[in-house]
Amino acid sequence: MVIMPIFSLPIEMGPYPQAVETLLMAKKRRMGSHFFYNLTTLISYLLAAFISMAAIVMTKSTLSKAIRSFKKEYQIQINIKALIRGFCLVIIWTPVAAMSLSALESVKGSWITYFVPALFLSLLLLVIDIIIGFWEIPLTYANNKKVIKTENPIQTKKYLYANLFELIFIFIIFIISSNFFAHLVNVSLIHALCVMSIIITIVWAIRIREIKSIAYKIKYTFLIDISNKDDQFSLFLSLGLFLYSFEHSIFLELFNNIISIIFPYLGVGLIFIIGFIPILLCQIGVFPILSVILLAGTIDPESIKLKAEWFALLITAGGGTAFMFSQLSATNQFIAQLLEVSSLKVAKSNKKFALVLWFVSCLYVIFLQHFFS
C-alpha cells in the first residue's frame, strides 16, 4: 500500500494523461453522453490497473474539459457511476490493489491460476456495465464546439497512440517480470511486485526524463506518506494478531466444521452468502479489504468444496461490490467529495449495478467450481 503507488509517478508526470485528453478533444463529431460514460469508465478502469484509487482523480481531470460541455446533471450522472465502477471492476484482478493479493496470500493460492479467470470476470462485468450504461444514462449530446478544442494541436495521432500503447506494454512487462522474479527468487508475489515496481519506476523515469522529479516524489512518499499511514498500520497489525490467535484456537476448526455441516443443505446458496458478507460488513463501517482478509483467514475453502483461487476470487469480488454499495466506504466518500455530492447519492446510483456485480460473480465462481476444480 505504500510502495506500489510509486509505480504511478511516471504516469502522472509523463505524457499519458495529455495523450488521452488530446485524442478525445480532437474528435470532430457529436459525442453523446453514452460515449462519454463508456469512455470515462474505460479510462478509470485502465488507470486503476496501474495506480489504484489515484485513477479516480486522474480520470476526472483528464476528461473534465470534454464532459463540461454537458449540462451539470449529466456531468454528475456520468462521473458518479463511471469513476467508481471502473475502479471497482479492476480491483478483482490487478496486483496494484492490495485486496486480491491479500486474499490469495491468506488462502495460499496461486496468482498464475487466479489471474486469467479474474481478468475474464472483470472484463465480462465491464461489458455488462457498458450495456447497462445505455439504459441508465439519459442520451444527450455535448456542445461540439467545446469538445473539439485542443491545447496540443501539434501532436500527431501516431505519437499520442504510441504513448497509450507504451502504457499498456509497460504494465504487461510489469506483470510478467513480477511473476518471473517471484519464482526465480522464491518469494511471495507481494514482495516481487514491490521490488519490480521500484526497478521499473526507475527505468521508466529515465525513459521520460523525469528522474529528479520522481526521486523527489519518492523521497516525499517515504518521509511523509508512511507517517500518515500509522493508523492503517495499527489496524492491519491488530487484524493480523486477531487472525493469528483465531487460527491457533479451537474456534477456527469449530467454525469450519459448522460450515461443513450446513454446506450440504445450502449448497451453492452458501457461495452467495459468503460473497455478500463483505457488503454487509461495509454497511457497519468495516473497510472492504479488512472484511476480505477476515473471511480469507477464517473460512477454509475446502469446507465449502471450493478451490483456494476461486474462493479468493469470490471474496475479492464481494469486496469490490462493497466499495460501491455502501455510503460508508472510503471510495464512495472520496468520489462524493470530489464531485461535491453526498456519499448516499453515490451509493444509491450504484446499488443496482453492485447487486449485478455480486450476483454475476457468484454465478461465475459456481461455474469455475463445477468445470475447473
**Tens-digit pLDDT profile for residues 206-229:** 888 877 777 777 776 666 666 666
pLDDT band at 310 (very low <50, low <70, confident <90, very high): very high
Rg (CA), the chain: 21
What pLDDT shows up at residue 121? 94
**Does the pLDDT value for residue 28 go beyond 50?**
no
CB neighbour class for 167 (10 Å; exposed up to 12, middle 13-18, buried from 19): buried
What pLDDT shows up at residue 118? 92
Q: Are 137 and 38 in contact (CB under 8 A)?
A: no
What pLDDT shows up at residue 284? 76
**Does the pLDDT value for residue 258 go beyond 80?**
no
pTM for the full model?
0.72
Taking the mean position of all CA atoms in its chain, how far away is CA 327?
18
Q: What is the dihedral of CA 360, 362, 363, 365, to 10 degrees?
A: 120
**Tens-digit pLDDT profile for residues 84-133:** 888 889 888 887 777 888 888 888 888 888 989 999 999 999 999 988 88
Residue 32, beta-bridge partner list: 141
Weakest-pLDDT range from 12-16, 28-32, 47-51, 356-360:
28-32
Q: Which residues contact 364 (CB under 8 A, 6 or more apart)?
A: 117, 121, 124, 313
- pLDDT over 90, % of the chain: 10
